[in-house]
Amino acid sequence: MAMTITRRRFVHASVALAGLATVVPIGSVLAAEENNKWVSGEGTPDTVMGPFYPLLSKPANPGTDLTMVKGGTAHAQGQLLYLMGQVLDVKGTPIKGVQVEIWQANAAGRYDHPSDGNPAPLDPNFQGYGVAVTDADGRYRFKTIKPGSYPVTRGWVRPPHIHYELTGRKDKHVTQIWFPDEPLNAQDRLFDRLSPAARQKLTCKIEAPAGSMEPDSKVALFNIVLTNG
């Protein structure tokens, strides 16, 4: 039986997100609704972790702001991005206390990882990894930059994407998000092998900034459904 999260719950969640130093516009409510259609019993599709998870180079207490390294004064290069959403179960109930990890390439498409042979430059001011814990309404939020694309093999260039690992009370879930209207999405071998429904669920929604956000920033909305929580 098809089920979508109710408008009332999303309005409540969007108002609650104002407590995260921003006011989410009504367009975000509608975008979040569209982004969270699922069939009862199904969670957000999983994807491969990839080779660049920072297993040996995790910064201590990384926090949620990837645009500056700890102790630094300069900001990372690239399009400023506020990445936010909710973690819910398959009934649409927000899940508190889920650890949300993200990692990504910098604006030039380079990971700060010893296995990344991409000749693109590193950004010394970009942390590349962050950790948030969902609040009582299942909300999380990061401040980051839009990652760049990068070559994998001849004929395959990965489009901008961000990796996620979620650790809940019962579930551990690995996935990633793509950005809308990216020409390279159609050529991405990982995106291409997903079903059309899965592609929709794993494509974030982009909104204009609001409240105290920088006027040249963007908001990326991505809500995640865990099967068991």
The predicted pLDDT at position 14 comes to: 41
Domain that holds residue 61: 2-225
Catalytic (active-site) positions: 111, 150, 158, 161, 163
Give the number of domains in the chain: 1
Q: Which residues contact 198 (CB under 8 A, 6 or more apart)?
A: 45
pTM: 0.84
**CATH number of the domain enclosing 199:** 2.60.130.10
Is residue 41 within 8 A of residue 204, CB to CB? The reply is no
Distance of CA 73 to the CA centre of its chain: 25
Q: What is the pLDDT of residue 147?
A: 98
Q: Which one-letter amino acid corresponds to residue 22?
A: T
Q: What confidence tens digit (pLDDT) does each residue in 111-143 have?
A: 999 999 999 999 999 999 999 999 999 999 999
Instruction: Please provide the size of the chain in residues.
Output: 229
Query: Cα–Cα distance between 50 and 46 in angstroms, integer?
Result: 12
Residue 184: HSE in the Cβ half-sphere, 13 Å Cα cutoff = 15
